[in-house]
Amino acid sequence: MVNYRDYLNSYNWQQRRQFILQRDGHRCRQCGDAYRLEVHHLTYRRLGREHPNDLMTLCRPCHESVHQRIKQSRRWVKSSRQRWSSRSTVRRWSPKPSRARQGDRSRYAGRSSPKRRGSRRRY
């Protein structure tokens, strides 16, 4: 696995970064600013072998904003898992069978299953 900091200082990354900056016209793809540009990884799966579609130019404030939103969404997911995993919550939100459905079942008590009307073509 490649050390991220070492990779960002490598010649390979500098070439890739210049390509992405040129592709994006040396502008932030979020706000259009041309000051303090950085190249953001959408995913870190192929570090060192990134596809150009996995990279985008962002100005520093937009880049920080993106990472802040990622952190917030991770926190939300973590807290939601804890909240929804408690047994009382699961019981509280479990659907209860409705009376109409129970009544429908008793109507077909003598048969193995309700007959479907119009499901087969008769010739």
User: What is the pTM (predicted TM-score) of this model?
Assistant: 0.59
Distance, CA of 26 to CA of 35 (rounded, Å): 9
Range of the domain at 19: 4-88
Residue 106 lies in a domain: no
**How far is residue 29 CA from its own chain's centroid?**
20
Across the range 21-32, mean pLDDT stands at 95
pLDDT number for residue 7: 87
Evaluate if residue 95 carries a pLDDT over 60: yes
Look at the chain and report how many structural domains it folds into: 1
Rounded Cα–Cα distance for residues 36 and 58 (Å) = 8
Report the 10 Å Cβ neighbour count for 62: 21
| 29 pLDDT above the threshold of 60 | yes
Q: Please report the pLDDT score of residue 50 as a whole number.
A: 85
Residue 95 lies in a domain: no
Flag whether 77 is in a domain.
Answer: yes
Residue 121 lies in a domain: no
81, part of any domain: yes
Kindly tell me if the per-residue pLDDT of 108 is higher than 80: no
> What DSSP designation does 55 have?
E
In a domain, 16, yes or no: yes
Residue 29 lies in a domain: yes
